[in-house]
Chain A
Amino acid sequence: AQSVTQPDIHITVSEGASLELRCNYSYGATPYLFWYVQSPGQGLQLLLKYFSGDTLVQGIKGFEAEFKRSQSSFNLRKPSVHWSDAAEYFCAVGSTGFQKLVFGTGTRLLVSP
């Protein structure tokens, strides 16, 4: 069965600093991988996704993620964080065929001035 681990529950980053959120997955076949962002009390918005091809994926709002099969990881990065990036971030893995996403427990990002 698929599973996702986000080891960091909270992360605090200074505005303008770089960001990396960790995600490790477990899945027997080639995974579909996603990063979503959730503002308080809101639904989830897709930041980026990986299905195949180039392992470095660009997303919206200046985010990128790198798929590393050897490490079973799909870490999210941003070179310079803005205060508006404060939110909760979820990594998810989907199976081929029927798309049933399994989510990690999320990482809450706090941005300090």
Chain B
Amino acid sequence: SQTIHQWPATLVQPVGSPLSLECTVEGTSNPNLYWYRQAAGRGLQLLFYSIGIDQISSEVPQNLSASRPQDRQFILSSKKLLLSDSGFYLCAWSHKTGLNTEAFFGQGTRLTVV
């Protein structure tokens, strides 16, 4: 069966520090991968999605970047965190086109920038 791992679960970082959140998927190949951010009262905002290695699309301009160095690995990064980067970050994956195209989510990372 497929599983998705996301870490760390919580993170407190000072303003101006770098960020690296990692997400890996097991039990499937060539998945679509996603990074979402959840802010209070704002639902889930799609930040990045990827259809393949080194193929990243950004949905909103921001202080963050994403990379996909391997088929089942998706990394969210920042060179210098801002206070506004605080939030709950969720990684997700989905199959390519077909009937089973819902997204499967990791447990999330709570990022607090201080």
Contact = CB atoms under 8 A, between A and B. Distances in A.
A9 interface: yes
A9 B40 CA distance: 11
Interface in B57-114: 88, 90, 92, 94-95, 97, 99, 101-108, 110
Given A34-B102, A44-B90, A98-B97, A105 B46 contact: no
Contact of A101 (B6, B95, B103): B103
Interface residues of B, number: 28
Q: Secondary structure of the B side of the interface?
A: strand
B107 A32 contact: no
A98 B43 contact: no
A103 B43 contact: yes
A101 B105 CA distance: 12
Of B32, B99, B103, B108, which is in contact with the most chain A CB atoms at under 10 Å from its CB? B103
28 contacts: A6-B43, A41-B108, A42-B107, A43-B90, A43-B107, A43-B108, A44-B44, A44-B92, A44-B105, A90-B43, A90-B44, A92-B44, A92-B103, A94-B101, A94-B102, A98-B32, A98-B97, A99-B32, A99-B97, A99-B101, A100-B34, A100-B46, A101-B103, A103-B36, A103-B44, A104-B43, A105-B41, A105-B42
